[in-house]
Structure 1
Amino acid sequence: MTDRGFSCEDNRRYLRQGDHAYIIGEKLRTGSPEVKAAPSRQGRYTETADNMRVKEVRISDTDRFVICHNPESAERDRHMREQLVAQLSELIADTDQFSDFKRGELRVKIADKPGLNRYLRTTPAGKLRIDTARIKSSAAGAT
């Protein structure tokens, strides 16, 4: 099993050179090409417990993914995401009227809060907006 800093392509390539089995654990929201491909592959979920279902998919001749889904955890994540987006919406409301400097100060404050910063984007004109694409991908990763 690996930690999140280990599962880069170079390390995977190195592991494939050996004559041994290995498991890499990744969250669906990591965004790697393999992780993005895995949920859309054919396969059925199997209920393994009241709060867990599992689906195995092959993404190549050498790699397979075991996707675990916990509906309770997904619901908690959805609720937390909604709270963060609501808080962020409140923070950036009416910021289009702020000076660039004042908006920049707020942007820096939000950057220090990873949960909020995850769903914030800045337009080319420096306006603060909710990143709806990021919200959708985060929700999709919670499936």
Structure 2
Amino acid sequence: MTMKLPGAGDQRRSQLLRGVLDLCLLSLIAERPRYGYEFVESLTESGLELVSEGSIYPLLARMERAGLVASYRAPSSSGGAPRKYYRLTETGGAELADGRAVWHEFATQAGRILADTTDTTDTTEPDTPTEPTGGTT
């Protein structure tokens, strides 16, 4: 019997997301410029609800320092303080294209391995080959 750890699915999803979160953000920015909370909303709507603003802003700052995104301030539609929007740079567009290619290749390769439909719960030892019996009479 296989034991499942509580929350193991969320932990695995979180680890997988951590590895591609930058690409997800670049892809969202490629659609249109966005401000911080819009990323959380879009990711949640896409089923990636494990992301908080606390993980988005440091990543956006690193991406801006790396020249992948540029930011600008624009008035808030609600009349509040101006919002900081992020737009994709040319370097960011190239990084997104490269990252997508790597992701698709990786997902295809991992998918082949994980798509195995054999029953892996059988814990019996495989049959051991035996020496042929019989002889001449």
Instruction: Give the alignment's TM-score, normalised by structure 2.
Output: 0.32
With CA pairs under 8 Å and 6+ residues apart, which has the higher RCO, 1 or 2? 2
Q: Which has the higher strand share?
A: 1
